[in-house]
Structure 1
Amino acid sequence: MNRTPEWTGAAGAPSGPAAPRPAAHHLQPAKSLAPEQGSMVPAGYTAVRLVGAGRHATVFLCREDETGSEVAVKLLHVAVEEERPRLAAHSELLAAGAAARHPCSVPVLEAGVTSDHRPYVTQEFCPGGDAQSLLGTTGPFPAADVIAIGTRLALALHSSHRRGVLHLAVRPGNVLFDAAGDALLADHGIDRVLQRAAPGLGSVFDPLYAPREFFGWEKPGPAADVYSLGATLYALLNGAPAHAEAARAGGAELYEAVLRGEVPHPARPDAPEALLTLVSRMMSVNPEGRPPLTEIHRTLRLLLPDTHSSRVPALEPEPAPVLPLPGWDPADEDEQVTDTGAESARREARRQARIRLIAACTALVVFAGAATALTLLLGHGDKHPAASPTASPSTAVPRPVPTDQLPVLMPRHVTVTRADGQVQVTWQLPEQAQRISGYVVQAKVRGTQSSPRRTAGNADPVATFPANSVSPGTCYTVTSLILTNGIVEYASAPDMCHTGTA
């Protein structure tokens, strides 16, 4: 398919020579919050101010009611009214949150759906702003900064791909800076959630950072993120996207420019030739012509000046992914194709995996109405309450699994570590993990009534809490959720209490 699609896009700032840049940790200017906007945020959060708003989402700086912690809540504008797409969107947001668990990604603390059916994610707040805003205020980035940013983003993308999530929206607006000025990649897979949940929206990608795959030539894979990363680094060096001039002439001209693939080097005599050549290869028209993320990381790491070595974690890319990555197209089970027996088996395996993921999300949604009851039960040490025989499955108090099933259904080997401003709770999957629909991790803060909660899926048994929301001596309960015929049962591991400060 090679038709010219429709979109709206704005050209970037004009190019120019690199200028000295202020420290990236300057705070974003506060934006006024209209009264009606404050009511948009999900339950459990209080809006503090508006961080930014775009075509498809609004970001609020919020205060978490339970802990008082400041977080960023990204609320998608689309309301997903039908249950099945809504559950699928929720499950994909959970997967996206798991993909963001990397030192070079913005941590996702929670994902859910509001009472009016709008998907949202809660992330750590990054006070340093985003690269797109900095381009507009201070111009092109110094080459050394671009190398450090590229190294960090390559690590984040490789980790995300290994967890089975394509980013599909790498662009300067999704490169955020923390208080230390370090770059973090945000919004893993969010555009894909939009595309699947609301096909009527049309194209949601930014054509200035999009490879030809996004225009229908091939199904996007990891190489699509490589192109967008290259286009982002180009913009940081140049001060504007590679095809900004074509975009000013119109959508058709931009489309033709992407297909021609003629990308001149930015006028940056201070940039190493190896960096400019790498960016050019990353923006190759043909996906097969783009280097893998491992090579990109290795090349950028070699180019990294000693003055910037502390800006990049001493990490190597993780082993290559085993599972196939999700693409841009609709769900595989909706495709009408003729294939071989082996292809059918692979498609069925993917379909069953998706069904299990949606089932896990269903359990979490059903459980949401009973989460408060479970918190009260566990908070009082009662892990074997009597369930009401007349309550409906969606509102009943969750009931414990039979005692003889507890050893094979409860999480195993729970560990708690505290580092880098976070408390991370991890566990091993139960012996019969295939029966588990999801997990709830509850923190019982010593000396208070606070009980922050996190949810997780089978794919990534880990939950993260901001360190300032809990104190040394806090005990953590990891609970398996089992959904059977609409009834929620649970199996809790013994409490794990963290007594240290590091």
Structure 2
Amino acid sequence: MTDESRLVAGRYRLTEEIGRGGMGTVWRVQDEVLGRQVALKRLHERPRLSDGELATLYERMRREARSAARIVHPNVVVIHDVVDDGGQPCIVMEYVPAVTLGDLLKKGPAVPPQEAARIGLGMVAALRAAHAAGVLHRDVKPGNVMLGADGRVVLTDFGIAMTADASPLTKTGELVGSIHYMAPERIRGRKPGPASDLWALGATLYQALEGRPPFDRPTAMEVAYAIAVDPLEPMQRAGALQPLIEALLAKDPDERPSAEETERLLRTARTGGSTGATGVTGATGATGATVPAASPTMGNGTRQRRRQGRKRRVLLSTTVAAAAAATTALGVVYVMSDRGTGTPDPDAHQKPSAPGQPYTPPPLPAGFHRVNELGASFPVPDGWKAVNRSGELVTYGDASGRVGITVKMFEPAGANPMEHFTSMEARTKSNYAVYWRVRMDQTAFRKQPAVVWEYTFKGRKRGYRAIEEGFGREGGREYDISLSAPEAQWDTYRHLFDACRDGLTTTGQ
């Protein structure tokens, strides 16, 4: 869907793409009936999904509209209409000229405490209104917080929201959302409640202040385990907000402050007061439990004892749950994530072959043919031609010259592919004035050490996105497979990388 000026539902004229995420694209459009600018959200094309899966996605989008429409509040985006476009539902909503908190954190330094308190006030006001309407957001994160030029804070994207009277849209053992912002009870497979959204609020404020999520780990499984079990890393830049954020990120939902108490403490912090030394001896939890309030003036020894005591309580209560959390993480499905990506799904790769047995690739996808290069065989799309060959790499590209798959072979492979990828990243940064790392994760592929690297960069005329994965055993061969494509068309071409990587086999040549 790149055709600007196209008319949707006989009324909404597409004028500019203003946002793109894991599920859909948001356009600024002109309402030609009322003569005003609005925003329109449309799902990405999903040609590989079954009819049932598409029906679930469409229903999730309709539910987003119904959920958000139930909430009337200045900190929640206004829903105007739901229309059909070629069989797909589209949400027409208020146009808010804004940058997301996620984008702000990617482009600049962390947010100072008083500004974080201001943003938090808008978020908690939106959550209070949503919870009062019987709606759980379930995907509160920096990418869903819009910061308007006029100072307005808007919570958006209720695409996986859940209402008290709605049936679930997920299968047993499936989680939907962004892993870094999932509360511990959700990781353990328990039913979420308002306190789960407040945990995500705490995680968002933690990242706003510290520049990283509170439980940032290399893989989704490690993130899930850390959320369920690990103590919170001490904050360095939170100032007066530290006690409140620590309370919001409590493992037990009953120990978190309520939305009302959170709002009161954020107001105190915004005016320069303390969220832990205001004479309050405890904050009322989401279900009526009392949370001891922390004083920011207490010594380091007291803080350490408090953290250790909390860690012991959490470990005692989650010894069994931790194993379940780690197992649950393997079945997580990521429907929503910042910029269409996130921590990689540990099951995204093909299962490795048994020891001593050759790897059997999946059947050749339709529209692909095999080529033999660099001692390996791998699929490339029909019609693509080799546009670059050297002693250690080959690139196949499409007719436009903008999309390409590159396979590189290095011999002998080093002990740690991460060192190789770090070096490649340094060269890439020097080649492009605008570069942004999406992720660089150490993992394993076919029982070999591997690294997945995803990033964006600015070409002469447009922005591009790329993903590369390298794997190999020390002393043998390392193969790196990469895909690059215009960022605006990333969802159209992303699956080509999986087909090439999963279909690659060594030929021994």
TM-score (norm 2): 0.48
Query: Which protein, 1 or 2, shows the higher relative CO under an 8 Å CA cutoff with sep ≥ 6?
Result: 1
Which structure has greater strand proportion? 2
> What TM-score comes out, normalization by structure 1 length?
0.48
